Structure 1
Amino acid sequence: MPQATTLLAEPAAGSDFAPLLRQVRGQGLLERRRGWYARSIAANLLALAATAAGIVLSGDSWWTLLLAVPAALFWARTAFVGHDSGHAQITGTRRTGRLIGLVHADLLLGMSYAWWNDKHNRHHANPNHVDKDPDVGVGALVWTERQAAQRQGFTRWLTRNQARLFFPMLLLEGINLKISSVRGLKRHSPAERRTEAVLLALHAAGYATLLLSAMSPGKALAFALVHHALFGLHLGMVFAPNHKGMEMPDPDDGARRGHLRRQVLTSRNVRGGPVTDWLMGGLNYQIEHHLFPSMPRPHLRLARPLVRAHCRASGLPYTETGIVDSYRQALHHMHAVGAPLRTG
């Protein structure tokens, strides 16, 4: 199964990334934090169980829909664990990491671990490259004027208005992730496809049983829709600030970039304290995460001053902003991409 990009080999001696990697390794920031992850995973599983118990105890009441908020919040924590396991942040054992990922992604979320890893691996290898990064490929949204010029009919209208429609569209992302996961299964081996299909079916059956045993079909459907809408919104608000509106390498430019420039120039950090770190699963340290994908989540903030100083010494811009401004920049980029369609 494809694994998300990790940095295990020392780069060439002349690389501008090599001194930073040696410094980070020297401070032990690439070492595993198994105890930290064990406590975090246990706490999240307890929170999910408490939320499920609350749904059952609340019963057939519209007030039960309020529990969709913590359900979405702790589902996002579950997604972060799946993300970290794919990057080999939790354990150095491939088999254990895959098991953690399958449980958190397929069984608890109903989202294919293999599909996500394959997609995310390609993103890390070439962030913001329109021909190689699936996160900036043509979809419901587009990211370059060249992509926008190809839109016709309804999609053309969508592109003209994509900045104002972005957050409402995120409400559909939770369902879209599940649909894409099922479609993506066909790209993997028969054995892997069977394993994930069983886990996805168990998730669907368990989720439906939980809701239908506690409330009427109408309320259960309403809860599922609100839950998935909030989950998609939360994940979208975590991932949107990371690269949207940052440099996009010219696909016609044959010049090869080193790892440092390729990752730093396309990534943006989001400033904040412990609450921001928790809500964003550490992905607000996006520059550090892209430079060191296998670095455990609690070490990202510790690597930040080292990376920032190295970028300054190397003459590279280190982009960091507040959460509101990060959304403003991302939306401004989406608005600018659709501008020719509004004036043409």
Structure 2
Amino acid sequence: MAISDIKRYTHLTDTDVEALSAELAGIRRAVTTSLGAADAAYIRRTIAFQRLLDVAARLTIYSTRSLAGQLLGATALGVAKSVENMEIGHNISHGQWDWMNDPEIHSRNWEWDMAGPSSQWRYSHNYRHHVFSNVVGMDEDLGYGVLRVTRDQPWRPEHLLQPVRNLLLAATFEWGIALHDLHAEQDRTGTTAEKSALSRALIRKLARQVSKDYLLFPALSGRRWRRTLTANLTANLLRNLWAYVVIFCGHFPDGAEKFTRAELENETPAEWYLRQMLGAANFRAGPVMAFLSGNLCYQIEHHLFPDLPSNRYARISTQIQALCEKYNLPYTTGSLARQYLLTLRTIHKLALPDRFLRATSNDAPETASEQKVRAIHETRGTDGRTPRRRHRTRKAKRQVPHGV
């Protein structure tokens, strides 16, 4: 079962949790007070690079005569779209660069190159997901309404199809997110007129995206319209697959814990920090892969500080790992392949009813609970040291404290 008492699960006292929160607030304060010209130059360089790569890719697609050249152009265009989606659009929409007071690079004004309107995404993602991260029944990003990713979500016959649904979601990720965001926005509105207005906004954005990629650019290519159309389809598919892998590896591998609504009752800001640390997962990446992923390989750091500039996450991560070691908390990370294979295992396994699964809801590898912690301690006994200091976290493995 999901975690209902985060302090009991981690064996941290009220004093411990408040001390951890104070240290995290100190990290945040140090970053915000040091933001300046170098950070502003970073995002401006990133935008310039992305736009230059987009133009170069489209010129390559148009001018080349070889299959290799067409593949190169389509791949470069897919990379440009991925950079715009994650390192630029996603992070700007989080308000990471609002401190610059640049009207172009501001969360209220940036419209990303994705199917759904960024305004609808901001509510679904910035509020519903980041505020209620991994709370079952509150965070609709837990499986996006089409996948069962924890046993706390009741099994239904339609879940038998989720391996196929997973493939379809991966290939059409931007479209799935657009519909998901529309549902979240409509869910909070009170009138039919407001819901209709939201639907019209989505239709306008979809029409704009389809017209740009599948009508305008092919038309501008003249007799080579088929080549341009194919390259645009390929680039969007590559972007969808990459965004899907990055997002899923940050939220659904073993170690990205889930929580019940009871955890939200009287939750303090300090406990919110702790829930973010336990509910996200990283994957190891070098500078290039980190850039291409929008620095979302540092998903733990992003959930702790979603509005801090992404170029700071790599340095922040060393401080967060030190805090996890100090307070004996997990720092869930691993290779990209490992995190994705763990995610796939959960998706395929939970397509089946619980009666066909070997583990119970309290000892399944993808699910943590206070009951699991208590059972492990009762089995292992004591050695004269406090329970929360016995089982150390290893950053390269998914090893939750206390043997979970």
TM range (shorter): 0.7 to 0.9
Q: Residue in 2 aligned with 1:52?
A: 58
Q: Is the 8 A contact 2:182 2:199 kept in 1?
A: no
**2:79 is equivalent to residue 73 of structure 1:** yes
**2:38 is equivalent to residue 19 of structure 1:** no
TM-score using structure 2 length: 0.69
> What secondary structure, in the 3-state scheme, does the structure 2 residue paired with 1:324 have?
helix
Distance 1:181 1:23, change over 3 A: closer
Distance 1:287 1:184, change over 3 A: closer
Q: Is the 8 A contact 1:148 1:341 kept in 2?
A: no
> What secondary structure, in the 3-state scheme, does the structure 2 residue paired with 1:51 have?
helix
**2:330 is equivalent to residue 325 of structure 1:** no
Q: Deviations 1:28-79 (Å, cap 9, x if unpaired)?
A: 5762511110011111111111112223324898963553222121101001
Q: Residue in 2 aligned with 1:315?
A: 328
Q: Residue in 2 aligned with 1:265?
A: 278
Q: Residue in 2 aligned with 1:89?
A: 96
Structure 1 residue ranges without an equivalent (≥5): 1-12
Q: Deviations 1:252-302 (Å, cap 9, x if unpaired)?
A: 556536122110001111122112212211111111111111111111011
Q: Residue in 2 aligned with 1:287?
A: 300
TM-score using structure 1 length: 0.79
Distance 1:46 1:193, change over 3 A: farther
The CA distance in 1 between the partners of 2:310 and 2:150, in whole Å, is: 31
**2:123 is equivalent to residue 118 of structure 1:** yes
The CA distance in 2 between the partners of 1:82 and 1:139, in whole Å, is: 24
> How many percent of aligned residue pairs carry the same amino acid?
24
- Structure 1 residue 181: Cα displacement: 6.4
Q: Residue in 2 aligned with 1:101?
A: 110
The CA distance in 2 between the partners of 1:221 and 1:272, in whole Å, is: 32
The structure having more radius of gyration, on CA atoms, is 2
Alignment of 1:182-331 (within 5 A): 201-207=207-213, 208-214=215-221, 215=223, 219=227, 221-245=229-253, 246-253=256-263, 256=267, 258-331=271-344
The CA distance in 2 between the partners of 1:117 and 1:201, in whole Å, is: 20
- Structure 1 residue 312: Cα displacement: 2.1
Q: Is the 8 A contact 1:24 1:303 kept in 2?
A: no
The CA distance in 2 between the partners of 1:23 and 1:148, in whole Å, is: 39
> What secondary structure, in the 3-state scheme, does the structure 1 residue paired with 2:20 have?
coil
Supply the AA of the counterpart residue of 2:61: I
2:161 to 140, 158, 161: 158
> What secondary structure, in the 3-state scheme, does the structure 1 residue paired with 2:340 have?
helix
The CA distance in 1 between the partners of 2:48 and 2:78, in whole Å, is: 17
Q: Deviations 1:60-105 (Å, cap 9, x if unpaired)?
A: 9896355322212110100121111112112324854136522xx1
